[in-house]
Amino acid sequence: MIVREPPSALKLFFVMQGSIVPKITSRIIGVALLTAVVLLVDHHVIVLPRISMAAMGIFGVALSLFLGFRNNAAYDRWWEARKLWGAIIADLRNLGRHLSIFVREGGDRAEILSLGVAFSHLHRGSLRDVDVSAEISGWIGETQSKALIAHANPADAALRAMADQIGTLGESGAINGFGQMSISDTLSSLALSQAGCERIATTPLPFVYSLMVRRTTYLYCWLLPFALIEATNWFAPVFAAVVAYVFFGLQAVTNELELPFRNVQNGLSLDAMCRVIEISTCEALGQEAPPIWAPENYVLT
């Protein structure tokens, strides 16, 4: 995720970090070259048919609506994913407070909260398909980390391990029934947030809708030169490139926001949020907290 102050008006047109321009440069150049070829053929070879600017305007408005709806749907997925991870952070902090109230033994609290940190990293690893064994082994030990990673759903296995610990404490009388119920509610909330993230990660926007928007975008940009021949003459390639930037850019932004857990510049900063959980856990246990995850070159991963 890009973390920086808005650039000045002069730098605005030259900032490439976080921009979609590098991804669509070839398409922008392709549309501009197509427009230039159409102009050359029309002026020096044969008069080509014209398309009404009014007709292209109506076509463009319809395409803008489609792109806008798809972009809103993709941003809703991105924002929902951020809210779900915010809920995970809040629930793990609440878990630390519940354990301070209901569990008197510090060793038991540390073991359960360490599993909570492992849960966050395992969940991040599942969403991004990365190995997090190095991050969790320092919290729960190498043996238990291998045992959790061996499960089909390691994050869910961590929640079950936490539930088993609470059940054992309840059987021994170290925690009363009300405490078990409060902590159980918190674990259930963590499971719901996890399931919500998995739903977003495994259910992209409908392919048929994305396909229609993409085809329509290409069709519009290919027809646009025939509407710009008379209206803009030799400025047509510039106008066509600007239009291509807008439409292909919206399409590229949507593709990036659609899957918010990918480790890309505009993806969610899962590493930083896991570090927030580690800091909260260390403070709850009275341990020295690690430093805040800092952005590198304005990118917070």
Spell out the long-range contacts of 104-107 with Cβ–Cβ below 8 A and sequence spacing 24 or more: 104/174, 105/174, 106/285
pLDDT value at residue 80: 95
pLDDT value at residue 5: 61
Pair of tokens at residue 293: 């995850």
The helix, strand and coil proportions of the chain, stated in percent and rounded to the nearest 5, come to 75, 0, 25
Instruction: State the burial class of residue 24 (Cβ atoms within 10 Å of its Cβ: 0-12, 13-18, 19+).
Output: buried
Of 1, 269, 274, 283, the closest CA to residue 132 belongs to 274
Amino acid letter, 203:
T
What is the rounded CA–CA span in Å between residue 107 and residue 125?
27
Each residue's pLDDT, cut to its tens digit, for the chain (301 residues) gives: 666 566 555 555 556 556 677 788 888 888 889 888 888 887 777 877 777 777 778 878 888 888 888 888 888 999 999 999 999 999 999 998 998 888 877 678 889 999 999 999 999 999 999 998 988 898 888 999 999 999 999 999 999 999 998 888 888 888 888 888 888 999 999 999 999 999 999 988 888 877 888 888 888 888 888 888 877 777 888 888 888 888 888 888 888 888 888 887 778 889 899 999 999 998 988 888 888 877 776 666 7
Residues 88/123, Cβ–Cβ less than 8 Å: yes
Q: Is 52 helix (H, G, I), strand (E, B) or coil?
A: coil
The contacts of residue 88 (CB under 8 Å, 6+ apart) are 120, 123, 190, 193, 194, 273, 277
Residue 2 forms beta bridges with which residues? 299
The helix or strand, by DSSP H or E, that contains position 190, with its residue range, turns out to be helix 177-202
Residues 280/93, Cβ–Cβ less than 8 Å: yes
